[in-house]
């Protein structure tokens, strides 16, 4: 049996890596994909390894493996480093026959392992991309990022503020303008009045969190969110006089890259849930205060519809540039 080896940090996994692994698998009976990580990596090692396992889950011939990188010394010349790598590989994966790489160090590393080296697309003609380039400017290389990896790089944008300030309508408009998804306010799907319970508010918190995660899977570079868990907490305190601790835990699960605070300088419009039309200034202050408590910066959205749209688009364009 011929056993091959591909190594890397896969930070992140991209189409160049995938092409290399597919090519290598076609040349051997079993392919070991060795991914190394360090605790302070900018992309968590377990997350990266999960991408590899998920992507190749239907390929039993491909064997992903994860190891902590406690052996490399980046300050050394590359020829000295490959000797360290080889010592690790020989202990971790005995009986390797072929090394597959797209790197200059391939021959040196293979010599240290005393095995054959096959180079693949060294000039990056098939996939002109690198993990470092993706980290620096992911949206410039979006087409090279697998769908399972893209959610990590999606910028999450929160439309935030009191009721009847145009958040929902603007979320739909921006999602269409940027050809992406939006996560609606799930509370409107769960309750039909403001006579709700603690169990209801907890259910809303879980559902809102899961909806964001679901929409991230298909979002195109940005995800517009009509609300957040801070908002859920605000209304829980307002109507129930209590905020279940689980809401604060759920809040930690979603980090937003940009907050827009919608001002109240638009007419208040009643619907089945809105009943705070006479408390707009106070509610706006509460919303702003909650951001201040968390040191969350925001962009204020005010003016007529066209002015609001212009404020939002300008900020989003800067975010994705």
- Exposure on the CB side of residue 222, measured as CA atoms within 13 A: 25
- 2.40.50.100, 3.40.720.10, 3.60.21.70, 3.40.50.300: CATH of 154-320: 3.40.50.300
Confidence at residue 193, expressed as pLDDT on a 0 to 100 scale: 79
Question: Does the CA dihedral 300-302-305-306 come out positive or negative?
Answer: negative
Own/partner long-range contacts of 55-58 (Cβ < 8 Å, ≥24 apart): 55/13, 55/18, 55/146, 55/148, 56/21
- Mean pLDDT for all residues in the chain: 95
Answer for the pair 221, 149: CB distance below 8 angstroms, yes or no. Answer: no
Per-residue model confidence (pLDDT) at position 290 = 98
pLDDT in tens, 144-183: 999 999 999 999 999 999 988 999 999 999 999 999 999 9
CA distances from 291 to 45, 70, 310 (A): 31, 40, 23
Of 158-172, 205-219, 266-280, the poorest mean pLDDT is in 266-280
Q: Where are the domains of the chain?
A: 3-144, 154-320
> What order do you get walking across the sheet with 3-8 strand by strand?
62-68, 30-37, 3-8, 98-101, 116-119
Among the residue ranges 50-54, 123-127, 132-136, 315-319, the one predicted with the least confidence is 123-127
Contact status, residue 242 vs residue 295, Cβ threshold 8 Å: no
The model's confidence at residue 272, banded by pLDDT at 50, 70 and 90, is low
pLDDT of residue 273: 64
Q: Furthest-apart CA pair in the chain: how many Å?
A: 79
Architecture of domain 3-144: 3-Layer(aba) Sandwich (3.40)
Residues of the chain above pLDDT 90, percent: 92
Summarize the confidence of residues 130-147 as an average pLDDT: 97
The answer to whether 3-144 and 154-320 have equal CATH topology is yes
């Amino acid at each position: 049996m011929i056993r091959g080896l591909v190594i890397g940090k896969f930070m992140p996994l991209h189409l160049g890596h995938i092409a290399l692994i597919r090519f290598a698998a076609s040349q051997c009976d079993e392919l070991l994909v060795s991914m190394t990580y360090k605790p302070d990596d900018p992309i968590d090692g377990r997350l990266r390894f999960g991408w590899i396992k998920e992507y190749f889950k239907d390929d039993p011939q491909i064997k992903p493996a994860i190891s902590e990188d406690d052996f490399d010394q980046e300050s050394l010349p590359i020829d000295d480093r490959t000797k360290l790598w080889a010592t690790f590989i020989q202990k971790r994966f005995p009986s390797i026959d072929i090394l597959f790489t797209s790197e200059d160090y391939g021959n040196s590393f293979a010599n240290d392992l005393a095995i054959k080296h096959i180079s693949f697309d060294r000039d990056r003609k098939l996939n002109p991309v690198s993990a470092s380039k993706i980290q620096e400017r992911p949206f410039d290389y979006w087409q090279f990022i697998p769908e399972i990896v893209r959610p990590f790089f999606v910028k999450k944008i929160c439309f935030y503020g009191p009721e009847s300030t145009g958040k929902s309508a603007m979320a739909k408009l921006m999602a269409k303008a940027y050809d992406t998804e939006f996560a609606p306010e799930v509370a409107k799907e769960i309750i039909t009045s403001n006579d709700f319970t603690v169990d209801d508010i907890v259910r809303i918190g879980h559902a809102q969190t899961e909806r964001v995660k679901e929409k991230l899977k298909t979002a195109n570079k940005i995800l517009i969110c009509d609300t957040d868990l801070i908002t859920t907490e605000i209304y829980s305190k307002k109507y129930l006089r209590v905020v279940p601790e689980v809401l604060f835990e759920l809040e930690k699960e979603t980090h937003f890259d940009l907050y827009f605070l919608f001002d109240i300088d638009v007419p208040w419009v009643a619907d089945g849930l809105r009943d705070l039309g006479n408390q707009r200034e106070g509610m706006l202050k509460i919303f702003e205060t909650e951001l201040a408590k968390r040191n969350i910066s925001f962009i204020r959205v005010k003016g007529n519809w066209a002015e609001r749209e212009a404020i939002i688009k300008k900020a989003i364009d800067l975010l994705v540039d």
